[in-house]
Structure 1
Amino acid sequence: MSTPAAPEVLVLGRCGVDVYPLQTGVGLEDVETFGKFLGGSAANVAVAAARLGRRPALVSGVGDDPFGRFVRRSLRQLGVDDSRVATDADHLTPVTFCEVFPPDRFPIWFYRRPTTPDLQLDASALDLAAVTGADLLWVTLTGLSEEPSRTAHHTALAARAAAAGPRRHTVLDLDHRADFWPADGGVEAARTQAQRALAHATVAVGNREECWVATGEDDADAAADALLALGVDLAVVKQGPRGVLGATRSERVVVPATPVAVVNGLGAGDAFGGSLVDGLLADLPLAELLARCNAAGAIVASRLECATAMPTAEEIAAHVAAHADMTTGRERDRA
């Protein structure tokens, strides 16, 4: 039997169901109608990359339940290979609820206790040929929050770093959810795991708070410097309304944010991530790459859902063109 070809993009991490209110500005106790959507940061990034023409596969887990079947079906419909998503007979597919108070308040509740199928990923079940053969590997910090997923993620990162051949893109999404980390470890536990993973990553991406969790630095430039010192080739620091900073050892660019009427900000970071995947694989110049990532995030922030709201390449290009006077990256003078 022939070995299947490695996916172009391999994403490790969480998937589940987002249950979002169809009324905005209303607390969950008063919401009367909800919409059900594919969710989970890793799943959303995979969908965003697929929407841009990439060939992603997700490594995760779902329960043997109706929501698990919904997740699998949605992944396939949205262009993501689900063949490496395990079915866990012992744990339920997680559900996430949020409240929508535009423009900047989106409280979120994760129903993931005591654990979830995506955190039961075992190193022995990894397809290491896919891990080392994919053009880009995407992992998330939340996948390092609990065993056995933690060991599986570190195993994948180490195998990829040790693989022969040119250094390929390995992205650590600094996605941090405090609820996922044990109360007795908290930020320090997350920082320890992030820094261990960063030694094997080529790219790190996160907002300022997430970069602080990983490095102890919340100034954008200082956080980028710290991430580069920890081993990555590219540090991407999202700064919300202040735009995004991208830094390598030879280049530093700031791309401003573009204005948007925010409906739900929760999927914007995952849309940014999917565009980052596409831009890295296309070897785009840093300023162009970040402008497209910003545009993708802005588009999704203007929509209610996450996975099914991910923009096409044409939509991103149109947004960048419409805000061309704002999206030109500026070299950061460090002198």
Structure 2
Amino acid sequence: MKKAKGAKSRRTPGPQPPAFDLITVGRSSIDLYSNDVGAAFPDITSFGAYIGGSPLNIAVGARRLGLRTALLTAVGPDKVGEFILERLRREGVETRYIPQKPGTRSSAVVLGIEPPDRFPITFYRDNAADAQLSIDDVLAVPIAASRAVQLSGVALAKEPGRSATFFAAEEARAAGVTVFLDLDFRADQWHDPRAYGVQVRALLPLVDVAFGTEEEVNAAMLRRPEDITIRHSQVTAPEIRGDVEANVRALLARGPGALVVKRGARGSDVYLQGGGAVHAPGFAVEVLSVLGAGDAFAAGFIYGRLQGWDWYTSARMGNACGAIVVTRIGCADFTPYLEEALAFVEANGGF
């Protein structure tokens, strides 16, 4: 049959590429890191200015590895917010979904560096803009058209950010989008550290993969106040006692397909729903600053999973990214690019 004169052929559109490989949701900040490594905090003479906040760090780290990333956070109408947005643009992270919240302040973090094991840190998050993320802010982001979304535990501490986080998980789950959760426990952000676990356990049925440190796993199941020791409000990692293995099983029973425990130089372990675990050995490096290593791990791990890599290879990639960052003095600004991470793995025993 002849086509009518002037008629245009119709083409069935092919599958549309995802809007983003990864959307991260939650806090952002300007990070001021001591330039005087080893100096006691009162003796610091200058700071370097960087960008930070766990979801921001993961968005930048994943972008440097080659993923298309967007960050859903919020900033205040201030110069710190301008700093954060401009640095994100330079990194190639999509910022169009980041609202400015009137009457709030962009967050800040100040960090001293006293190797090998002292990193006094102060968070300035009073009236934080990113804690004001709303359900409407989530609706403006193309979660359903993306491959994965990453959420964080700190965002559960206050409303309206808590509801926005749950809503983002619901939107992703309904669309078949992979949900990653960084347990991301900061004791000073909670009126009661046990409230953190209440919120995390409520969110886990909507999560595909969660990851955190041994302390964060214990925090997520914390019930007795005597099991947590906060040595100082400005120390980033409190001591949290508990049975890590039993708590892993309890958290997996809430629904996620996998729970990844980050163990620093000892590597990481991927615990799977239904039993079984995969161990990925770590890398021996000289530690300068531990802050940001877990976020670099998350970026490398998520990169691997979105490449279709198995649990072991993904965790090994995460370990490599974390190992690189602990040799440096910052978070997002110091995460590795893909070529560097792969070369590091190759030079240190391979996958």
Same fold (TM over 0.5): yes
Letter in 2 for 1:171: F
Q: State the 1:318 CA deviation.
A: 1.8
Aligned 8 A contact 2:97 2:141 in 1:
no
Return the offset for 1:303.
0.7
CA shift for structure 1 position 159: 2.2
5+ residue gaps, structure 2: 1-16, 223-240
Q: Given the alignment, which residue of 252, 264, 283 partners 1:240?
A: 264
Question: Is the CA contact (8 Å cut-off) linking 1:220 and 1:237 kept in structure 2?
Answer: no
| C-alpha contact (below 8 Å) 2:101/2:129 kept by paired residues | yes
Partner of 1:102: 115
Identical positions, percent: 35
Task: Spell out the pairing of 1:54-65 with structure 2 (5 A cutoff).
Answer: 54-65=67-78
Q: Which residue of 2 aligns with 1:222?
A: 246
Structure 2 Cα separation of the partners of residues 205 and 43 of structure 1? 16
Name the CA distance, whole Å, in 2 between partners of 1:197 and 1:139.
10
* Deviation, structure 1 residue 81: 0.4
Deviation at 1:128, TM superposition (A): 6.0
- Structure 2 residue 224 is the aligned partner of structure 1 residue 204: no
1:97–1:109 Cα contact (<8 Å) kept: yes
User: Residues 1-335 of structure 1 correspond to what in structure 2 (within 5 A)?
Assistant: 6-113=19-126, 115-127=127-139, 130-163=142-175, 167-182=176-191, 186-216=192-222, 218-249=242-273, 251-324=276-349
Q: Which is higher, the Rg of structure 1 or of structure 2?
A: 2
With 5-14 and 144-153 compared, the bigger mean Cα shift is at 5-14
- State whether residues 292 and 332 of structure 2, in contact with CA within 8 Å, keep that contact through their aligned partners in structure 1: yes
Local SS of the residue matching 2:32: strand
Superposed displacement of residue 223, structure 1: 3.2
Shift of the 133–191 alpha-carbon distance from structure 1 to 2, 3 Å rule, reads same
The CA deviation at 1:156 is 1.3
* Residues 177-202 of structure 1 deviation map (CA, whole Å, 9 limit, x = unaligned): 011111xxx22211110011111000
2:271 maps to a residue whose letter is A
Deviations 1:43-101 (A, max 9, x none): 01000000000011111111111111010000010111011111122111111001101
Query: SS state of the match for residue 204, structure 1?
Result: strand
- Tell me what 2:14 maps to: none
Residue pair 1:208, 1:218 contacting (<8 A) in 2 also: no
Find the aligned partners of 1:180 and 1:129 in 2 and give their Cα distance: 26
- Per the alignment, residue 233 of structure 2 pairs with none
1:266 counterpart SS class: coil
Q: Is the 8 A contact 2:52 2:332 kept in 1?
A: yes
RMSD across aligned positions (CA): 1.9
For residue 226 of structure 2, what is the aligned residue in structure 1?
Answer: none
Which digits, 9 at most, give the CA deviation of each residue in 1:16-60, with x for residues without a partner? 100001011112221111100011111010000000000111111
Instruction: Classify the secondary structure of the residue corresponding to 1:299.
Output: helix
Structure 1: give runs of 5+ residues left out of the alignment.
329-335
The 1-side partners of 2:103 and 2:78 are apart by 10
Partners of 2:42 and 2:18 in 1: how far apart? 48
Say if 2:134 and 2:160, in contact at 8 Å, map to a contact too. yes
Greater CA drift, 115-124 or 252-261:
252-261
Provide the C-alpha distance between the structure 2 equivalents of 1:223 and 1:55, rounded to a whole number of angstroms: 34
Q: Do the aligned residues in 2 keep the contact of 1:265 with 1:301 (CA within 8 Å)?
A: yes
* Distance in 2, Cα, partners of 1:40 & 1:63: 15
CA separation of 1:286/1:218 partners in 2, compared to 1, >3 Å: closer, same or farther? Answer: farther
> What is the CA–CA distance in structure 2 between the aligned matches of 1:45 and 1:240, rounded to whole Å?
17
Q: Which amino acid aligns with 2:280?
A: V
How many aligned residue pairs are there? 317
Do 1:128 and 1:156's aligned partners in 2 also have CA atoms closer than 8 Å? no
TM-score (structure 2 length as normaliser) = 0.86
Q: TM (normalized to structure 1)?
A: 0.90
Alignment partners' CA distance in 1, 2:138 and 2:22: 15
Q: How big is the shift at 1:127? A: 2.5
Q: Is the 8 A contact 2:302 2:314 kept in 1?
A: no
